[in-house]
Amino acid sequence: MDNISKIFIAIEDGEDEVTKKFLEDDPTLANATNSRGQTAFWWAASFGRTPIIKQMLEEPIRGILDYRKSDNLLRTALDAAEAYNNCEIIEMLNPVFGVGVYTAYAENEEEEAAEFDSSPPKPEEPGF
């Protein structure tokens, strides 16, 4: 069995120390994918493995982590955490994904509206 299969099994089984050792030896395993396109990061978020997510969000893994990678059904690690109601991980991932960034710094609703314009972009003029 290769290390990619082993890290997914370790995450699923809650073997945090084993998973941490795999990641220390090879940080790229955080981006390893299974047959459904789910990364080890995605897998850890779905299983609520808070210590593993914390480790992956720190250097040296953070610098190479493809945290926005979605699985074959276009679900991100944040989507997986939300689907399984892993609240602590959702709180950790929201700032990483930019969720709540604008509202966290707004002192009032007017300032918030000025900080975040959710209107669709205007179409560009055709060039000649």
- Read off the pLDDT of each residue in 79-97 and give the average, rounded to a whole number: 93
CB 74 within 8 A of CB 41: no
Q: Looking at residue 1, what is its pLDDT? A: 79
120 backbone φψ class: left, alpha, beta (φ>0; ψ -120 to 50): beta
Maximum alpha-carbon separation in the chain: 60
User: Which of 12, 74, 82, 18 shows the shortest CA–CA distance to 43?
Assistant: 12
- Answer whether residue 52 shows pLDDT above 90: yes
21, pLDDT greater than 60: yes
Is 70 exceeded by the pLDDT of residue 101? no
Mean pLDDT check: name the lowest of 24-28, 45-49, 54-58, 96-100. 96-100
Structure confidence at residue 115 as a pLDDT band (50, 70, 90)? very low
What pLDDT does residue 27 have? Answer: 96
CATH architecture of the domain 3-114 equals Alpha Horseshoe (1.25)
% of the chain with per-residue pLDDT over 90: 71
Give me the chain's average pLDDT, please. Answer: 83
Give the model's pLDDT for residue 116. 43
